[in-house]
């Protein structure tokens, strides 16, 4: 693959030469919650040096992957995000950062920034998967100041605000999942 060549699903930059149009702010996973109105899991990202939070509604499988990593649960066999971690490391790459880039029609977008030698590989991904992989590789998570400002919520106690789940609540939630919650398989 040549330098600067576009690859399906990824953009390559040499020596990190990608201009940014907006200031980025580092965020961290503050907690996982459950939206009482929709009964959907929500990952709450909070700016590292501030009070603003960015809620992202995610699927139950991704919530489980994030929760298991946060809780330090290890499995005998690798799960999907663990597999991706091993692929990245096995290929000699490093996940330098994840960036939550935008929201369109209530759908969030993210990018993984992999570094290998003098190449930067920028990969489009879902935020939930990106967060799960970033947690496994200890990579920082960023979002734009504009997105954080536009999409952030104030964490006030209201009946409809996403509520944090403790370990027992998360376990009960996961045990009570219906296979239909994961969607239908259509080959």
Per-residue confidence of the chain (187 residues) as pLDDT tens digits?
444 333 335 544 444 444 345 689 999 999 998 888 888 999 999 999 888 999 999 999 999 999 999 988 888 888 899 999 999 999 999 999 999 999 999 899 999 999 999 999 999 999 999 999 999 999 999 999 988 888 766 544 444 555 555 656 655 665 565 555 544 444 4
Q: What 3-state class would DSSP assign to 169?
A: helix
Query: What is the end-to-end Cα distance of the chain in Å, rounded?
Result: 33
Q: Which residue(s) pair with 27 in the sheet?
A: 47, 141
The pLDDT value recorded for residue 120 is 95
User: What b-and-e string marks burial along 94-104, b requiring 16 or more CB atoms within 10 Å of the CB?
Assistant: ebebbbbbbbe
Distance CA 153, CA 55 (A): 7
Predicted confidence at residue 75, as pLDDT, reads 83
| pTM as predicted | 0.74
At 143-160, the pLDDT tens digits run 999 888 887 665 444 445
pLDDT of residue 178: 58
d(CA 37, CA 17): 43
pLDDT at 187: 42
Q: Are 32 and 71 in contact (CB under 8 A)?
A: no
How distant is the alpha carbon of residue 109 from its chain centre?
Answer: 9
């Amino acid at each position: 693959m040549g330098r600067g060549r576009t690859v399906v699903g990824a953009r390559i930059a040499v020596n990190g030469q990608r201009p940014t149009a907006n200031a980025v702010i580092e965020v961290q996973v503050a907690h996982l919650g459950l939206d009482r109105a929709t009964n959907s899991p929500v990952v709450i990202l909070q700016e590292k040096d501030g009070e603003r939070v960015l809620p992202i509604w995610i699927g139950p499988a991704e919530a489980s992957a994030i929760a298991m990593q946060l809780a330090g649960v290890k499995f005998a066999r690798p799960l999907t995000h663990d597999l991706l971690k091993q692929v990245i490391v096995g290929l000699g790459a490093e996940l330098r950062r994840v960036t939550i880039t935008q929201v369109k029609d209530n759908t969030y977008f993210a990018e993984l920034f992999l570094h290998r030698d003098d190449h930067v590989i920028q990969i489009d991904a879902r935020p939930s998967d990106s967060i799960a992989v970033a947690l496994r590789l200890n990579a920082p998570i960023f979002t734009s100041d504009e997105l954080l400002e536009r999409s952030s919520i104030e964490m006030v106690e209201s009946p409809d605000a996403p509520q944090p789940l403790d370990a027992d609540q998360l376990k009960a939630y996961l045990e009570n999942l219906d296979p239909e919650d994961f969607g239908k398989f259509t080959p």
